[in-house]
């Protein structure tokens, strides 16, 4: 299934992202740096995946951050700060 990402401020809800599995929709707050946004997207996809949807929030947080950090170290996620330094 194709997923749709909606970019909107989630500050008032106290969240960085939401996943709506029945609608194939993920909402992400764009008011963060690139690495945090990538971490949030990965986090929400982990919540959706059948193999990992049973995990508690701490496990999902750890897994999302670990994947985002690895991608960043591989330079597959580049922050604006890194671009500015080049």
- Write the pLDDT tens digit of every residue in 34-51: 899 999 999 999 998 889
pTM over 0.75: yes
Q: What is the rounded average pLDDT for all residues in the chain?
A: 90
Predicted local confidence at residue 81, as pLDDT: 77
State the CB neighbour count (10 A cutoff) for residue 18: 17
Is pLDDT at 80 greater than 90 in this prediction?
A: no
pLDDT, average across residues 54-69: 95
The confidence band for 65, taking pLDDT boundaries of 50, 70 and 90, is: very high
Q: What's the alpha-carbon Rg for the chain, to the nearest Å?
A: 13
| Nearest-angstrom CA–CA distance, 44 and 61 | 10
């Amino acid at each position: 299934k194709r997923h749709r990402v909606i970019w909107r401020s989630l500050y008032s809800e106290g969240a960085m992202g939401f996943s709506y599995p029945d609608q194939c929709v993920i909402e992400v707050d764009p008011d963060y740096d690139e690495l945090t946004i990538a971490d949030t997207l990965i986090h929400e996809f982990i919540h959706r995946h059948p193999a990992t949807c049973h995990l508690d929030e701490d496990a999902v947080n750890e897994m999302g951050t670990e994947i985002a950090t690895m991608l960043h170290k591989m330079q597959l996620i580049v922050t604006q700060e890194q671009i500015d330094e080049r």
